[in-house]
């Protein structure tokens, strides 16, 4: 069988035989044992008799005996063998299943065994279809005709070879006895039934997504390999480890704190927009909304990061700091964020502006940084880049976190916010089901394009979500 031309022409060993196929091969070979193998009988045709036919029942019996398994399991195993093409039925040759009765089967020749080492190539399939075309005078099955035309387009350059080989292979086959010719053509047909299954039949060689890269790359067990392994393990020993009790504690705390805030775990009020088509939830939790919900305000007390990340929270924090006359800290922090995430071209100008406004001695909004950090910053500012103010920013951040933030949480502003915060009411379920709004995800474009038909989902029926 030809490899895909040009792909891996003469280098092998990138493919390995899949383990289940090797196992099946071993089973088949052990069936061939003259003493302990399966009972063979002869298939009688009108004139010729072809040996080595096996009844389905005998196969199942042999499997039960050999592996000491139940009959059901043996039947399943036998069906797997048939589906992978190691055994093929002699009467309904397109139906590759094992029947535990007198239906005769025969073994596939090792050349045509299903293998991932030698995947079936398009050129071979084309030659097979051409041969079949000649034999059947053009009367191919539908899907085969389709494949034929597709292949003619795909490997058009090799079509001369296809036709030549097809003719010659048929002529070579004619040199054999009648019975042998029959057997070989059945074998080939089974091979292609397995490797190019007809529509509706599942492809056995398909791997599911979880099987993925099974190909175990063979590693040479040399001294280099072991040296690398030793080095790797030594580095692994030196890594910092955190006790799992500590990790899990933090994890538990996080989960219990954020549990009531999770819309999936604790439901969301007023209602889940994906279910009821009511977008109030999103409107009420928009980034900049005048009246934040209670859950949101509570979340600001979890950590300083939460407070700063929320635009509404940051705004209120800024108000608080202005009352305390330390708003320049937050402004400085925001300016540093802008520097870090802003455009590269603005970096030098911005660094200068920040310095002039916040860091220079006698600046308008001078921030209090310790001397060492100030030294580092000044040195870094000779060649400004976007991370040059990181140290100062971190200092101010920790200052706010340790100092201003706890005071904010205890302040009247925050307490007032908590009291004012809104708890949205859950939407009432309509008592009568036929008045409930129909559940559609979004108006279908088909409906919208025909304006004379009433749009089904444009307005909610009744004030479901409104309080």
Partner 1 sequence: MAREECKALLDALNKTTACYHHLVLTVGGSADTQDLREELQKTRQKARELAVATGARLTVALRDRGLATEERAEFERLWVAFSGCLDLLEADMQRSLTLGAAFPLHAPRRPLVRTGVAGGSSAVAARALSARSLRHEAEGDFDVADLPELEREVLQVGKMIDDMEMKVNVPRWSVQARQAAGAELLSGASAGASSAGGISVQERPGPCDPSKALAATVFSAVLLVAVALALCVAKLS
Judge whether 90 and 186 are in contact, CB under 8 Å: yes
99 vs 316, beta carbon nearer partner 1: 99
Cα 223 to Cα 218, 219, 230, 235: the distances in Å are 15, 12, 10, 19
Minimum distance between the CB of residue 15 and partner 1, rounded to whole angstroms? 12
* Smallest separation, CB 23 to partner 1 (Å): 15
**Cβ distance to partner 1 smaller for residue 169 or 411:** 169
To partner 1, the closest distance from the beta carbon of 34 in angstroms equals: 6
Give exposure, 342-371, as e/b (b: 16+ Cβ within 10 Å): eeeeebeebbeebbebbbeeeeeeebebee
Identify the three-state secondary structure at position 133. helix
Cα–Cα distance, 335 to 349 (Å, whole number): 12
Q: Which of 328, 282, 333, 281 is nearest to 307 (CA)?
A: 333
- CA–CA separation, 455 vs 448, rounded Å? 6
| Shortest distance (Å) from residue 4 CB to partner 1 | 9
Q: Beta strands of 322-459 (E only): which ranges?
A: none
Min CB(216)–partner 1 separation in Å = 20
* Nearest CB to partner 1, comparing residues 40 and 363: 40
- Distance (Å, whole) CA 242 – CA 413: 39
Question: Minimum Å distance from CB 387 to partner 1?
Answer: 52
Q: In terms of Cα–Cα distance, which of 127, 111, 138 is closest to 167?
A: 127
Q: Do 339 and 348 form a contact (C-beta atoms < 8 A)? A: no
Question: Residue 143 half-sphere exposure, CB side, CA atoms within 13 Å?
Answer: 8
Smaller CB separation from partner 1, 117 or 279: 117
Residue 86 or residue 397: which is nearer to partner 1 going by CB? 86
Residue number with CB closer to partner 1 (62 or 112): 112
Q: Which residue shows structure tokens 């493919």?
A: 15
Closer CB to partner 1, residue 117 or residue 283?
A: 117
């Amino acid at each position: 069988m030809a490899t895909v031309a040009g792909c891996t022409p003469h280098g092998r060993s990138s493919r390995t035989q899949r383990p289940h196929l090797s196992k099946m091969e071993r089973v088949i070979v052990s069936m061939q044992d003259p003493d302990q193998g399966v009972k063979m009988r002869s298939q009688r045709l009108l004139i010729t008799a072809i040996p080595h036919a096996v009844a389905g029942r005998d196969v199942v019996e042999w499997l039960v005996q050999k592996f000491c398994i139940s009959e059901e399991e043996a039947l399943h195993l036998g069906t797997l063998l048939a589906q992978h093409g190691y055994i093929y039925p002699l009467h309904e040759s397109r139906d590759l299943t094992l029947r535990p009765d007198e239906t005769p089967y025969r073994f596939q020749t090792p050349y045509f065994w299903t293998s991932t080492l030698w995947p079936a190539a398009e050129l071979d399939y084309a030659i097979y279809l051409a041969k079949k075309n000649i034999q059947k005078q053009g009367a191919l099955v539908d899907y085969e005709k389709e494949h034929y035309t597709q292949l003619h387009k795909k490997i058009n350059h090799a079509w001369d070879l296809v036709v030549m080989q097809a003719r010659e292979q048929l002529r070579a086959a004619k040199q054999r006895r009648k019975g042998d010719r029959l057997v070989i053509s059945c074998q080939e047909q089974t091979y292609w039934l397995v490797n190019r299954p007809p529509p509706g039949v599942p492809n056995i060689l398909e791997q599911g997504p979880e099987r993925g890269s099974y190909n175990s790359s063979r590693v040479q067990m040399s001294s280099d390999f072991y040296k690398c392994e030793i080095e790797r393990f030594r580095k692994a020993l030196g890594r910092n480890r955190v006790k799992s009790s500590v990790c899990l504690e933090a994890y538990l705390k996080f989960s219990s704190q954020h549990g009531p805030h999770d819309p999936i775990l604790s439901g969301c009020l007023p209602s889940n927009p994906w279910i009821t088509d009511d977008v109030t939830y999103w409107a009420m939790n928009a980034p900049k909304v005048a009246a934040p919900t209670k859950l949101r305000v509570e979340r600001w007390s979890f950590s300083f990061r939460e407070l700063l990340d929320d635009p509404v929270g940051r705004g209120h924090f800024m108000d608080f700091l202005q009352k305390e006359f330390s708003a320049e800290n937050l402004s400085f922090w925001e300016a540093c964020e802008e520097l870090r995430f802003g455009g590269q071209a603005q970096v030098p100008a911005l660094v200068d502006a920040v310095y002039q406004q916040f860091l220079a001695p006698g600046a308008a909004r001078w921030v209090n940084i310790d001397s060492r950090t100030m030294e580092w910053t000044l040195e870094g500012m000779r060649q400004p880049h976007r991370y040059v103010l990181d140290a100062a920013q971190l200092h101010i951040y920790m200052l706010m976190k340790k100092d201003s933030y706890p005071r904010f949480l205890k302040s009247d502003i925050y307490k007032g916010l908590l009291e004012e915060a809104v708890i949205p009411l859950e939407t009432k379920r309509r008592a009568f089901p036929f008045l409930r709004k129909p559940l559609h995800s979004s108006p279908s474009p088909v409906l919208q394009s025909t304006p004379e038909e009433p749009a089904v989902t444009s307005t909610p029926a009744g004030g479901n979500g409104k309080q």
